[in-house]
Amino acid sequence: MVPRNAGFILWLTGMSGAGKSTLSRALRAHLEPLRSVEVMDGDEVRTWLTRGLGFSREDREENVRRIGHVARLLARHGVGVIVAAISPYRSSRAEVRQLATEAGLAFVEVYIQAPLDALIARDVKGLYKKALAGELQNFTGVSDPYEAPESPEVIVRSAEEPVEVGLERVLAALQSRGLLASRAA
């Protein structure tokens, strides 16, 4: 049995439209009956926690630091924290991982991967088209870099597989780390 107070940080990273929010909602629905869970969605965080930050590299890194700090506070108190944020730079994600690890907290990075054409097709706001046309500056993956994780614990290919496959893969990663009781238990 997993200790009730075993908090963790599940960090979902990927470009805009990759499926981070969709997977985080599926994870929340599955985990909430089992344990205390919080989702920190990038769009909501920008509204409530990091309002005023822009999209320069420095501001994006500060955004990730703030998310990481709140995630650590929650996880330290036994919450399973699901972060769904683009977090485009490896260095920022590595910093958040290091601070979580130093605090004795489990950190699981999930890379939600999708090719640019799939992201453009999913983009109801037309942001990719604007960025590709040069009308929108500092757009991750177009005019600003997205540094894909080099060795995430989980990779979800959202353009090729249904959300249920990614959900199962993430749950298996949590189970293998003792953060979620196995279904056979």
Mean pLDDT of the region 135-160: 95
Strand partners, 40: 83
* Mean pLDDT of the 88-106 span: 97
* Distance separating alpha carbons of residues 96 and 64, to the nearest angstrom: 8
176 part of the active site: no
130 marked among binding-site residues:
no
The 10s digit of each residue's pLDDT in 12-66 is: 999 999 999 999 999 999 999 999 999 999 988 888 878 888 888 999 999 999 9
The answer to whether 10 touches 80, Cβ cutoff 8 Å, is: yes
> How many domains in the chain?
1
Report yes or no on 133 lying in a domain: yes
> Which is the catalytic residue, given 24, 56, 87, 92?
87
Whichever domain contains 160, its CATH number is 3.40.50.300
More confident residue, 185 or 163: 163
Task: Tell me if 129 is assigned to a ligand binding site.
Answer: no
Both tokens assigned to 122:
């999913």
114 domain residue, yes or no: yes
For residue 151, the enclosing domain spans 8-176
Please give the model's pTM, rounded to 2 decimal places. 0.93
Q: Kindly tell me if the per-residue pLDDT of 116 is higher than 70.
A: yes
Residue with tokens 């496959």: 165
Confirm whether residue 143 is marked as ligand binding. no
The answer to whether the annotation marks 20 as part of a ligand binding site is yes
User: Rounded mean pLDDT of the chain?
Assistant: 92
Q: Give domain status of residue 74, yes or no.
A: yes
Could you report the per-residue pLDDT of 157-174, keeping only the tens digit for each?
999 999 999 999 999 999
18 has binding-site annotation? yes
List the 37-41 sheet strands across, edge first.
37-41, 80-84, 8-13, 106-113, 154-157
